[in-house]
């Protein structure tokens, strides 16, 4: 039997955005506070105009940002996407997404 998700009202949606922007909780942790999934939190954040990170709903925002900086440093040093992926334990597609996201 599927777990019933809590309904999130507008006040809670605003609180969720504030919690996420501070960066101390992952989308999954925020979801646990409100009785919904991390994926649902991601959906709420995107609906409110917040940029979320692909595949990053389990990690804190600060952890994701640090991982992105590491990816960009490794890429700037001439490492291949596959090499970077093995170092940061992500898919090459995920690494490419990060590189493209920050491309000038």
Token look-up 């804190």 returns 60
pLDDT at residue 24 tops 70: yes
The tens digit of pLDDT for each residue in 41-83 reads 989 998 988 877 655 667 777 788 888 999 999 999 999 999 9
Separation between Cα atoms, residue 28 and residue 98, nearest integer Å: 21
Q: Residue 1 pLDDT more than 70?
A: no
Share of the chain above pLDDT 70, in %: 89
Q: Scan for tokens 């900086």, then name that residue.
A: 69
Structure confidence at residue 9 (pLDDT): 94
Top pLDDT among 3 and 83 is at: 83
């Amino acid at each position: 039997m599927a777990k019933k998700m809590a309904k999130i009202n507008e006040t809670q949606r605003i609180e969720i955005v504030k919690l996420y922007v501070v960066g101390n909780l992952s989308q999954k942790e925020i979801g646990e506070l409100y009785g919904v999934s991390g994926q649902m939190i991601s959906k709420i954040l995107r609906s409110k105009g917040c940029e979320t990170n692909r595949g990053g709903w389990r990690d804190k925002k600060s952890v994701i940002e640090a991982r992105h900086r590491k990816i960009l440093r490794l890429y700037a040093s001439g490492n291949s996407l596959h090499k970077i992926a093995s170092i940061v334990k992500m898919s090459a597609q995920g690494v490419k997404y990060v590189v493209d996201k920050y491309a000038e």
